[in-house]
Amino acid sequence: MMSENIENALNKQIRIEAESSQIYLSMACWAESKGFEGVAEFMFAQADEEREHMLRLLRYLIERGGSAVVSELSKPPSDFTSPKAMFEKVLKHEIFVSESINDLVSITFDEKDFATHNFLQWYVAEQIEEEATARNILDKINLIGDDKSGFYLFDKDVRAMIAQKPME
Ligand code: FEO
């Protein structure tokens, strides 16, 4: 059995991962509407990944005898102004998720729940990846600058990044 503290913290993270999925789905729709098809595909794949992150936590919670809560989700923004502004939002959001995972890991220490501590190591590693990917894409955008034709290649590049992500 797990403590109520851990159960609540895991349920909070389940909601954050589910909301991340919604945010990326909304970004996919925005990118699609602006003609960035590669970016849209990337965001659809990200949305699926976040749902997987959510499910992994939920299944763990159930396996340990906790009660998982499927909560209401906040409506994500729908206008992202430009690819640059959008990926800046992605990076900011992933940093927020990393901080939340760190808080969760810290609670597992306080509660001496080393099984959950161990389980969370996958998320710690994943967050390093997610932040690095967002930074990498922002670097590409900054290289393009105001060169409109550069965005055609950028879009193809981002689509190619979907296949490059390491499989779990
Ligand atoms: Fe599951 Fe992108 O954090």
Q: pLDDT tens for residues 57-101? A: 999 999 999 999 999 999 999 999 999 999 999 999 999 999 999
Quote the pLDDT of residue 146.
79
pLDDT attached to residue 149: 86
pLDDT, averaged across the chain: 95
Nearest-CA residue for atom 2 of ligand 1 = 94
Query: Ligand 1 centroid to 125 CA: how many Å?
Result: 11
pLDDT for the residue 74: 97
Ligand 1 contact via 94 beta carbon (within 6 Å): yes
* 3-class secondary structure, 22: helix
- Write the single-letter amino acid at 126: E
CATH number at residue 154: 1.20.1260.10
**137-146 contacts, C-beta under 8 A, 24 or more apart:** 137/87, 137/90, 137/161, 138/84, 138/87, 138/88, 138/91, 141/83, 141/84, 141/87, 142/84
Distance 85 CA to ligand 1 centre (A): 19
Residue 19 CB–ligand 1 contact under 6 Å: no
- Is there an atom of ligand 1 within 6 Å of 93 CB? no
Q: How much is the average pLDDT of 33-40?
A: 97
Please tell me the pTM assigned to this model: 0.94
Res. 104: pLDDT tops 90 = yes
Structural domain for 158, as ranges: 4-164
Asked if residue 166 has pLDDT above 60, the reply is: no
Is the model's pLDDT at 167 over the cut of 90? Answer: no
Instruction: For residue 13, report the distance from its CA to the centre of ligand 1, in Å.
Output: 10
CA of 17 to the centre of ligand 1 (A): 6
Contact 76, 23 (CB under 8 A): yes
Look-up of token digits 């990200």:
46
Q: How many domains does the chain have?
A: 1
CB-based burial label for 134 (10 Å; 0-12, 13-18, 19+): buried
